[in-house]
Amino acid sequence: MNQWGLLTPDPELDMVYPSDTSDANNEELALEHSVAHGNVHGNGTGTGSSPGTTTAPNGDNKVNQRHYEPAERFIITKNVVVIGLAFMIHFTAFHGTSNLQSSVNADKALGTTTLAVIYGSLILSNIFLPMTVIRWFGCRLTMALALFAYMPYIAAQFYPRFETLIPAALMVGFGGGPLWCSKCTYLSTVSEALTQVRGNKSRKDVNTVKFFGLFFIFYQMAQVWGNLISSSVLTLSAPAAQSPANGSFELDVQRELERTRVAELCGARFCPGVGAEANPNLVPPAPEQIQLLNSIFLTCMAAAVVMMIFGVSSLKRYGVKRGDTGDGMSGLKLLTVTINLLRKRRQILMLPITMFIGLEEAFLAVDFTRSFVACGWGISRIGFAMICFGVANAVAAGIAGALVERIGRVTLAGLCAVVNLCLLTYMYNWEAREGDYMSYCTFAAVWGICDGVWLVVVNAFYGILFPNHLIAAYSNFRLWESTGSVIGYIISSQLCTSTKLVILIIFILIGCVGYGLIEYRVWQKQKNLEVMLSD
């Protein structure tokens, strides 16, 4: 039995060495052994782990099978909650800053260039760093050190220049790979421990989805707090608006001109090059407002590092020692496992939907905030719209685990895809209106629901598809999500918003086809196994 409660094949059969020429057969074996107990299919049933001792056949941190006290379930949940709180406080600062970059640091595309550098370096980070760093420091300390690596990015906002922001952005990117891979590995590991604590009362795949859902409740609430802080600081400390001196007639004329200007320049019609001279809504905040905001955010990041160091238990508690990334594999071989996962068909089929997640997050951070909210409502109101995104995102992430258990992963993903396509199509045809806060907030909220579901379902599905390659699988997830983000940030300063919406529609359609093919293959194998077992 492996750590998922599944039959474990010969370790040599499931390795992904460069010299392996039978990848198709290996993939078939991995899927067969998974679906034999129903832990891969979104609507299947599964079994818990049996007592005994096992080790992972290849390159990831795995829980040793052992007995735990019933109270351990509360300690496990506490660890997940503290990790979620630390990420929430940390990304309150990061998201609050990033959402303003395309509008505040718009000169020479400094803001979008910085974001592209972050996600470009994150690609390299996901390839070269996670396994080595986790092997050296363990998951808990890796998360703490990676959170610390984000702090220079906020400090550089006090003096925003290419020579300060670009090096700080590189630090964020190089810290991001180990951060997210160690977080995913930690959650998957404690999900297995909880399965052992509860025995036949729980399933590993359900526990994994629930823990990812619980984490993303906290993580997506960072959008709420970060944007609430930024909007409060920028709005409350802003100078009072001046009314026309000649009364209501000129005021009416001014409002009509603003409505016409917004309809012509904003929303899907927005194109790079539109600035404050064409639309006063795009005038950036005063420097003293930005400095106050940065001071608050820097304090948040320091608090998150302290929480991670002192509030989270080491994985030694669950049989995983620092430096133990598998059966003694070297860092180079672990890197080889990560890269060679791309030879597996199920990984290739997951690439489009993974890249779509990165693309839509980049569009939200840069194009939605600038083309829709800042252009039509004002830069100081970006945070209010993004609060709606954060609340909806957190709620969606929180209920995704329960919905998977009730209606199945496939049904939930299908509903999410339909809603997402409808939203993108409507935004493409929608005519922007001055101060139409209801539309801007509604767009953000529906976007948040879709993003929350995609994050939970796809993150958990990676852990289910690659149970023996957790670190490598999550490294690939972040790698291709980051690739999608980099593409989004690069085209943000080159293409009009309508073109970018079309690109998103194409990616989600291709991604859904790839995801559907994987689910169909899993369903087909489960059906064949049921027939074979009934004979």
Q: Determine the pLDDT at residue 285.
A: 77
The DSSP string of 262-276 is HHHHSGGG--TT--T
Instruction: Judge: domain 70-236+266-313+344-534, CATH 1.10.150.110.
Output: no
Q: Determine the pLDDT at residue 379.
A: 80
Q: Determine the pLDDT at residue 258.
A: 63
Return all residues near 113 (Cβ < 8 A) that are at least 6 apart: 162, 166, 489, 493
Q: Determine the pLDDT at residue 501.
A: 95
H-only helix segments in 237-323:
248-265, 287-311
Domain ranges of the chain: 70-236+266-313+344-534
The DSSP string of 204-235 is HHHHHHHHHHHHHHHHHHHHHHHHHHHHHHHH
Return all residues near 298 (Cβ < 8 A) that are at least 6 apart: 93, 151, 154, 155
Rounded-to-integer distance, Cα 432 and Cα 373, Å:
10
Q: Determine the pLDDT at residue 463.
A: 78
Rounded-to-integer distance, Cα 276 and Cα 262, Å:
12
Query: How confident is the model over 305-346, as pLDDT tens digits?
Result: 999 999 888 888 776 665 554 444 445 665 677 778 888 888
Q: Determine the pLDDT at residue 252.
A: 56
How is residue 384 written in tokens? 């209010």
Q: Determine the pLDDT at residue 23.
A: 45
Q: Determine the pLDDT at residue 1.
A: 33
The two most distant CA atoms of the chain are separated, in Å, by 90
How is residue 295 written in tokens? 């001071």
Q: Contact, 207 vs 191, CB < 8 A?
A: yes
Residues of the chain with pLDDT under 70: 1-70, 199-202, 204-205, 237-259, 274-281, 319-335, 535
Q: For 513-516, which contacts have Cβ atoms below 8 Å and span 24 or more sequence positions?
A: 513/352, 514/348, 514/349, 514/350, 514/351, 514/352, 514/353, 515/349, 515/350, 515/353, 515/413
Q: Contact, 185 vs 470, CB < 8 A?
A: yes
pTM for the structure as a whole: 0.70
Query: How confident is the model over 8-25, as pLDDT tens digits?
Result: 333 333 333 333 434 444
What's the CA angle centered on 291, arms 287 and 292, to 5 degrees?
A: 120
Q: Determine the pLDDT at residue 303.
A: 95
- Please give the helix or strand (H or E) that residue 463 lies within, else none: helix 437-465
Query: How confident is the model over 193-203, as pLDDT tens digits?
Result: 777 777 666 67
Number of Cβ atoms within 10 Å of the Cβ of 470: 24
Amino acid present at 232: S
Rounded-to-integer distance, Cα 316 and Cα 494, Å:
49
How is residue 152 written in tokens? 């220079």
Rounded-to-integer distance, Cα 527 and Cα 76, Å:
35
Q: Determine the pLDDT at residue 70.
A: 67
Amino acid present at 216: F
